[in-house]
Structure 1
Amino acid sequence: MDVSDVPAVPEWLPAHLRDDGIESLYPPQAEAVEAGVTEGESLVASIPTASGKTLVAQLAMFAAVNRGGKALYIVPLRALASEKRDEFAAFEQYGLSVGVSTGNYDSDGEWLAEKDVIVATSEKVDSLVRNGAPWIDQLDCVVADEVHLVDDRNRGPTLEVTLAKLRGRNPDLQVVALSATIGNADELADWLDAALVDSTWRPIELRKGVHYGQALHFDDGTQEELRVKSSEKPTAAVVRDTLADDGSTLVFVNSRRNAEAAAARLATVTSRQLDGDEMAALADVAADIREVSDTETSDDLADAVEKGAAFHHAGLASEHRALVEDAFRDRLVKCVCATPTLAAGVNTPSRRVVVRDWRRYSGEAGGMEPLSVLEVHQMMGRAGRPGLDPYGEALLLASSHDELDELFERYVWADPEPVRSKLAAEPAMRTHLLATIASGFADSRETLVEFLQQTLYATQTHESGRLETVMDDMLDYLRVNDFVEETDSGRLKATGLGHTVSRLYLDPMSAATVIDGLRAADDPSALGLYHLVARTPDMYQLYLRSGEREEYTMEAYEREDELPGSAPSEFEESRFDDWLSALKTARLLEDWADETDEDRITDRYGVGPGDIRGKVDTAEWLLGAAESLAAELDLGSATAVREAKKRVEYGVREELIDLAGVRGVGRKRARRLFAAGIQTRSELRNAEKSVVLAALRGREKTAETVLENAGHQDPSMEGVTPDPDAAPDDVDDDTETDPQTGSEDDQSSLGDF
């Protein structure tokens, strides 16, 4: 189908597509248009990666805007939201306005009302519905990217309930659901009352296979020689062979440590293929990586990148991941060793994909278990870059003939598992029940049942009454904790407290834990508050490494008076270990707020810089919620909570809170300024410029920016020389004693590795 034949889209779109080299639609895209996607018809598109799903979404959204409507693009990850925002920004030249919203869960996002296309995570959309964003009712088209994630036990229920609510609010809403791998796409299409495009077409060939011995064995029955030298691992042989044909390789492994170790080894392979220009460009990328954080992880990543390899996992800072992804897309980095986080929709295709590890540790299974077919196919779909690669190859590695046969049966020839709703899990149910009542979607048991009947779970379950049983149990929990009450007429309504909990986007159990803790402590310490929020279901705790139980048991007793609530008995092993894990998490937050250097924290707790940022962000959000709850209940701890929140937000001790709040200052610069005698925002606003310049180590641009943000009348540093008496000693290091190194175990189970 020629792009000029697509109906109902803006008149500028065909010319724009032609300028991008798109003269005609791919077959799956043409099928979507024939199914009415540009004319307001709902659609489930299950088509391979690189086959043009994003253009299907754009056609639907821009056609909706062309009709005078508004479109919403839902993504599972914040990184994807930024990526899509950058993609859609190209259309702003035609008058299209695009907005992105991912954080601040207690906002109604009023500013988004003026936008034509809104990009947001499913959690953010859910929070906007809870907070009564009026423009939600004006939506004409909603795109759900990576819709197979309704199967995810953490993110899935939110996406599922959000789609059900949006359809309930807008009966004529067009829903376009996209995925590369859905085993039961027809079921999702039935649930969404949508047409189905289920295609295996790709713009370039994807060959799937297994490397065994000295050969590649492909799904079409062919074989090709790929010899492994006597000193080589199979993965290194594949990378070497791919580089010989000017291709890139994406290697999937099962843990952070394995990703880092594999990247270090494969860097010796990639470094041999770099020319002078590439080495110079990679040196610049490595320097940028080292600037992100002063940690061993940052240094290790930079060392690998200088040689043309990299690792990628959730323990990296977001800036680390972005630098790696950009360098890989620019073909500077030749090989990336990643955990499955990189398979979740981020645009990082490569010539070859190697699924090195097809088993990973599962706490539930108590050992290693195979990855799902869906996950492996998501990884394999990254192979082949249209316009850059003549083909794509996705390979598993076998160490025996029996394993070769098993991998073909288990993954290469297998269909992905059907997507199954996880809504009936108790944490999801209690959270979404409260939100459904608080936002007015239901006001009785009967209307709750009616709403839940619109979910995917209701269409899939064969257990009679299962949904209602879980619902009734969770309703009882909400009543007991005063989040929901029944009126004299028998109606259900959220209490004032329930409305606050829903608006703050808290799990009701987190709210109950925080409320109990705040009531038990009139003047809680910072550690006590960090421990309190670390005990909630909304905080993913650090686990106890080998030998740490005794250490944290002693600390729990030594600091018992600081910890709100009653500690469980040591004989209640599971509950007591959870209490200690929360204490370990709280100690990390306390170290951060005491200005302990980042590299010491990563070493002490076995985490990466991304984990620190994740814990800090979560604690900041939960403490903000705790402050709101304290005010709602008129508790005297609100001031202590606010101070603990600010300290963890800025990573500073109490005396630096005011100074660190100036944009551009941060924890280390605040300490240098304080050491130079500038202790408050007001003092910074009126400070001698020579003192500020000296405290900031002679960096004129930085000093000008800081003074401008502080409100200084004349921030210019022209002609200013640093005051030698104000030059700081090395105050970057904190005053903590050397960290306890503990065991070498890392925190590979910190959320999605």
Structure 2
Amino acid sequence: MSELTIDELPIPPQVKEVMYERHIEKLWPPQVESIKAGLLDGESMTVSAPTSSGKTLIAELMITKVLLEKGGKALYLVPLRALAAQKLEELRKWERLGIRVASSTGDFDRYDKWLADYDIVVLTYEKCDSILRRRATESWVTETNVVVADEVHLVGDRSRGPPLEVVLTRLKKINPEIRFLSLSATISNASQIARWLSSKLVVSDWRPVPLKQGVYYGGLIHLDTGETVNVKHTGDEPVVDLTLDSINKGGQVLIFASTRRQAESVAKKFTGKLSLSEGEKKELSELAKKLGSFDELGPTHDELVSLIKSGVAFHHAGLSFDARTILEQAFMARKVKVLASTTTLAAGLNLPARRVIIYDVTRYEQGFGRVRIPVLEYHQMAGRAGRPGLDPYGEAVLIARKADEVEELLEEYVRSKPEPAEPQLLGELTLLPHVLSNVTSGYAADEQKLREFFSETFSGTLSSKPSMWRSISRCLKFLLDNSFLTDEGGYLLPTAFGKKTSEVYFHPYTAILVKKAADYGVSGVDRHSLHLVCLSVEVPKPRLGMKEKEDLSYEIDQEEDELPVSLEEYVETMMDLSPDPYEEYLGAWKAAKVLEWWVNEVSEAKIEEAIGVQPGDLYQLYTTASWVSRGIASLFQTLKSDRSLVKAYTDLSVRLESGVKSELLPLVGLRGIGRVRARQLYNSGIKTLKDVAEAPVEKLTQLRGVTTQLALSIKEQASKLSSSV
């Protein structure tokens, strides 16, 4: 394909100026192919290309041309919060042209009307789904004329796929003229996604850095070309030899492990093994100090601080967001030379290395035991190999444990095409919340309209229509039988209960559990209230060991009469949805115990030491539980439960969000005041908003971390809030 320069493109001159400032003068082949296919001429587009091949720039060209020439809005949809943060940062460069950029990823029960003031809105799939359920927001959604669906191959993912399908189908129906740009990894059925979205297809295997792929065994990397590469044997294990070989040649190494524990274990193998200059040692020491300055450090964090001084680190979802961000920045700045990670880094985050090592091609899956990773996942990890502008090539290396595995791994992964994205919006349990939301949001008023809608989803275009229609009928029966909907002569109408369930983004099974607890009084014991929150479908349940199950079972036996939903009620309700409702009931009890510590101001470090819940997991747990608790309060209000019950769960939501006891609730409502500062204020005698408003600035600044600027800010906030009460 012939080259194209930025100067040749039919885009606004101010966009060209920004491109030149970013030192972008020529387009890469996938970008050229997209332009030739009509990207800038009003076409919808599906682009299937390897990682780091310039897909984000394709999106920027399309978005800026449309917004600056025609106006309107652009939605940029991503699967992960971390990816949303990355895209927000990348897109903010366009704010200098008057394009306003915002992001929203959590709080599925909130309207977010403020997004109407922005031109580019970055959302997770689920957040967009929750917004589209509220017709009040449709006024600004109808202004959307460009939708970028990043990582669109995730329509084949069990959890991410259904909301993505529903969102894209609904946006098509809201505005038939909307233009889609779907960005996908290399998959074998990209053409099916393109047909579904009525878009032109661009498929490219071009990479900015050539990729060598192979399998390591016995001191040699066996490349897919038939060549071999010698690796110096140090007397250590293969992953160490492979890593040191690349580091000694000026590379960085990214090692993918199948579990967090494995990632940590692999990282520790390199303690003291990297040759570092005095300057590098100084930089890493400063990095360790930065990580060590966090308010609350637990065992995992302590290990990371110690390890990073050697130029190596581990990365997984158990780390806090701040720690992960620091590590990612340090790796991009080449301060950290070796990073051992779970697959969190393969899912869209831009962190390339010269050599990528896939340490293990198996992982544990509940109900199946050890299973091999999909080919697509291998290609996503391999795609991280090669730093544009730094490396002459990238290397992706699998490790064989025995000689006959070499050819097996080459055939199964390196030479194989990624699996197709299989439709996931099938079966009544997956369809159920989306059938409900289509009715409650006014998109479908009868069964025929529901059939029409779901026939237009990705799953609907590829699966048996009669089978899907039977599932829809069963969903409707369930929703009618459980008072989410009523049938008025063939017209489907939502009940107040059904409408609220959809608005707070609850699965109907969660709402049924809440309904069972509607007459339950407030026990005054945090753990009892928290157990209902943790029983919800939305809150993740921790895995349990055998001894732990026995202990938890005994504890529940002692307190079951005090719990909002009994074990018998839970099992009866959830037996169709859960493979093991008894274990989930116990898991919810453990999660409730963790959250009880959290809302009673136990430190993250102590929670990790005592219970083994890492900071990243704790954050995920308490933020999800806070939203669920707020949703429970809303449902109780709709069900006309006792006001004390509504207030208890409303307050519990705030306590979960901030990790505080009840007496600190007024203080954590102030911007800049978290759990630590709120407790300092309270213990110093500043207990109410009135106390804050009247406190001398000098007294406030005596507290750790309270600057004069913050003191003046919280005094002003407190004064306004206390006068309005």
TM-score (norm 2): 0.94
SS at match of 2:273: helix
1:162-205 deviation line (CA, Å, top 9, x unaligned) = 00111111111111111122121111111111111111111210
Q: Residue in 1 aligned with 2:723?
A: none
| Aligned counterpart in structure 2 of residue 298 of structure 1, from 298, 301, 318 | 301
SS at match of 2:13: coil
Q: 1:662 to 1:518 in 2, by over 3 A?
A: same
Q: Which moved more, 1:125-134 or 1:16-25?
A: 16-25
Conserved 8 A contact 1:541-1:581: yes
Q: Partner letter of residue 587 of structure 1?
A: K
Matches within 5 A, 1:427-438: 427-438=429-440
Q: 1:661 to 1:15 in 2, by over 3 A?
A: closer
Identity of aligned residues (%): 38
Conserved 8 A contact 1:214-1:225: yes
CA distance in 2: counterparts of 1:314 and 1:713, whole angstroms: 36
Conserved 8 A contact 2:697-2:711: no
Matches within 5 A, 1:220-619: 220-230=225-235, 232-270=236-274, 272=275, 274-292=276-294, 293-365=296-368, 367-461=369-463, 463=464, 465-488=466-489, 490-521=490-521, 523=523, 525-568=525-568, 574-619=580-625
Conserved 8 A contact 1:427-1:507: no
Q: 1:120 to 1:569 in 2, by over 3 A?
A: closer
1:102 matches 2:105: yes
1:51-73 deviation line (CA, Å, top 9, x unaligned) = 11011111111121122232211
For residue 657 of structure 1, report the CA deviation from its aligned partner: 2.2
Q: Residue in 1 aligned with 2:180?
A: 175
CA distance in 1: counterparts of 2:193 and 2:7, whole angstroms: 29
For residue 12 of structure 1, report the CA deviation from its aligned partner: 1.9
Q: Partner letter of residue 480 of structure 2?
A: R
SS at match of 2:335: coil
Q: 1:37 to 1:6 in 2, by over 3 A?
A: farther
Q: 1:350 to 1:655 in 2, by over 3 A?
A: same
1:77 matches 2:94: no
Conserved 8 A contact 1:664-1:706: no
1:718-747 deviation line (CA, Å, top 9, x unaligned) = xxxxxxxxxxxxxxxxxxxxxxxxxxxxxx
CA distance in 1: counterparts of 2:674 and 2:497, whole angstroms: 35
CA distance in 2: counterparts of 1:91 and 1:503, whole angstroms: 33
For residue 688 of structure 1, report the CA deviation from its aligned partner: 4.6
Q: 1:173 to 1:227 in 2, by over 3 A?
A: same
For residue 387 of structure 1, report the CA deviation from its aligned partner: 1.1
Conserved 8 A contact 1:527-1:562: no
Q: 1:410 to 1:566 in 2, by over 3 A?
A: same
SS at match of 2:75: strand
CA distance in 2: counterparts of 1:581 and 1:167, whole angstroms: 40
Q: Partner letter of residue 534 of structure 1?
A: C
CA distance in 1: counterparts of 2:148 and 2:448, whole angstroms: 30
Q: Partner letter of residue 67 of structure 1?
A: K
CA distance in 1: counterparts of 2:289 and 2:134, whole angstroms: 43
SS at match of 1:39: coil
Q: Which moved more, 1:212-221 or 1:596-605?
A: 596-605
Q: Which moved more, 1:643-652 or 1:407-416?
A: 643-652
For residue 571 of structure 1, report the CA deviation from its aligned partner: 11
Q: 1:661 to 1:115 in 2, by over 3 A?
A: closer
SS at match of 2:518: helix
CA distance in 2: counterparts of 1:437 and 1:275, whole angstroms: 64
CA distance in 2: counterparts of 1:73 and 1:152, whole angstroms: 19
CA distance in 1: counterparts of 2:334 and 2:115, whole angstroms: 36
CA distance in 2: counterparts of 1:576 and 1:324, whole angstroms: 39
Q: Which moved more, 1:543-552 or 1:352-361?
A: 543-552
SS at match of 2:617: helix
Q: Which moved more, 1:71-80 or 1:492-501?
A: 492-501
Q: 1:174 to 1:334 in 2, by over 3 A?
A: same
1:652-676 deviation line (CA, Å, top 9, x unaligned) = 2222222333333322233233232
Matches within 5 A, 1:30-49: 30-49=32-51
Conserved 8 A contact 2:50-2:206: yes
Q: Partner letter of residue 318 of structure 2?
A: G
Conserved 8 A contact 2:47-2:203: yes
Q: Partner letter of residue 655 of structure 1?
A: E
CA distance in 1: counterparts of 2:232 and 2:382, whole angstroms: 22
Q: Which moved more, 1:661-670 or 1:152-161?
A: 661-670
Q: 1:713 to 1:153 in 2, by over 3 A?
A: closer
CA distance in 2: counterparts of 1:677 and 1:68, whole angstroms: 54
Q: 1:354 to 1:712 in 2, by over 3 A?
A: closer
Conserved 8 A contact 2:216-2:400: yes
Q: 1:712 to 1:61 in 2, by over 3 A?
A: closer
CA distance in 2: counterparts of 1:59 and 1:713, whole angstroms: 46
Q: Which moved more, 1:134-143 or 1:704-713?
A: 704-713
Structure 1 runs not aligned, ≥5 long: 715-753
For residue 414 of structure 1, report the CA deviation from its aligned partner: 0.4
For residue 321 of structure 1, report the CA deviation from its aligned partner: 0.9
For residue 704 of structure 1, report the CA deviation from its aligned partner: 4.8
Q: 1:290 to 1:564 in 2, by over 3 A?
A: same
Conserved 8 A contact 1:102-1:124: yes
Conserved 8 A contact 2:7-2:25: no
SS at match of 2:510: helix
1:59-93 deviation line (CA, Å, top 9, x unaligned) = 11112112223221111111111111111111221
CA distance in 1: counterparts of 2:59 and 2:698, whole angstroms: 55
Conserved 8 A contact 1:525-1:640: no
Conserved 8 A contact 2:689-2:718: no
For residue 558 of structure 1, report the CA deviation from its aligned partner: 2.4
Q: Partner letter of residue 338 of structure 1?
A: S
Q: 1:374 to 1:496 in 2, by over 3 A?
A: same
- Structure 1 runs, 4 residues or longer, greater than 6 Å off: 569-573
Q: Residue in 2 aligned with 1:736?
A: none
Conserved 8 A contact 1:650-1:661: no
Q: Residue in 2 aligned with 1:721?
A: none
Q: Residue in 1 aligned with 2:211?
A: 206
Conserved 8 A contact 1:75-1:119: yes
For residue 594 of structure 1, report the CA deviation from its aligned partner: 1.4
For residue 456 of structure 1, report the CA deviation from its aligned partner: 0.8
For residue 290 of structure 1, report the CA deviation from its aligned partner: 2.4
1:485-530 deviation line (CA, Å, top 9, x unaligned) = 1123x11122222221111111111122122123233556321221
SS at match of 1:629: helix
The CA RMSD measured in Å over matched residues stands at 2.1
1:101-127 deviation line (CA, Å, top 9, x unaligned) = 222323333322232222111111111
Q: Partner letter of residue 682 of structure 1?
A: K
Conserved 8 A contact 2:188-2:419: yes
Q: Which moved more, 1:430-439 or 1:514-523?
A: 514-523
For residue 549 of structure 1, report the CA deviation from its aligned partner: 1.8
* Matched positions, count: 705
Q: Partner letter of residue 501 of structure 2?
A: V
For residue 569 of structure 1, report the CA deviation from its aligned partner: 9.6
CA distance in 2: counterparts of 1:612 and 1:244, whole angstroms: 38
For residue 706 of structure 1, report the CA deviation from its aligned partner: 4.2
Matches within 5 A, 1:699-718: 699=705, 701=707, 704-706=709-711, 708-711=713-716
Conserved 8 A contact 1:443-1:491: yes
Conserved 8 A contact 1:568-1:579: no
Conserved 8 A contact 2:670-2:717: no
Conserved 8 A contact 1:693-1:700: yes
1:651 matches 2:637: no
